[in-house]
Amino acid sequence: MSRKIFVNLPVKDLNRSIDFFTKCGFSFDPRFTDENATCMVVGEDIRVMLLVEPFFRSFSRREIPDTARTSEVLVALSAESREEVDELVERALDAGAEAHGEPQADGPMYGRSFTDPDGHIWEVMWMDPTALEG
């Protein structure tokens, strides 16, 4: 059995988040979607649960960070090419995201970042597969 990952993120407006991430090219699993949450499909074994803040609080007694001032997590996604990095980030920017920092080109790695409407930071990275060869 392969391990799966479910990242849980608080959101202020679920419909706004669904609209934003749909424009970024992601889909949602309707079996895990209601007025409190949705399950965004990122990959075969990766899901992001977007939970409205009051529902998110039912899973953690800790304060939800103010993403305008703090970072609680950096969500990093791999891409298959530099072009895919640019395409995904450009879709996010067109959908209302803000660029986060400058593009990073460090040898065989290339990445760009954006913040979603709730201030969560998403990094999209590509690494030249030939750099992994020994």
The CATH homologous superfamily for domain 72-134 is 2,3-Dihydroxybiphenyl 1,2-Dioxygenase, domain 1 (3.10.180.10)
Per-residue pLDDT tens digits for 101-115: 999 998 899 999 999
User: Of all helices (H) and strands (E), which one includes residue 17?
Assistant: helix 14-23
- Whether the per-residue pLDDT at 134 is higher than 90: the answer is no
| pLDDT number for residue 97 | 98
Per-residue pLDDT tens digits for 118-127: 999 999 999 9
Class of domain 1-60: alpha beta
pTM of the model: 0.90
User: Of all helices (H) and strands (E), which one includes residue 85?
Assistant: helix 82-94
Q: Residue 11 in contact with residue 51, Cβ under 8 Å?
A: yes
- Compute the average pLDDT of residues 71-99: 96
- Compute the average pLDDT of residues 31-59: 97
Q: Residue 34 in contact with residue 21, Cβ under 8 Å?
A: no
In the block, tokens 């649960």 appear at 49
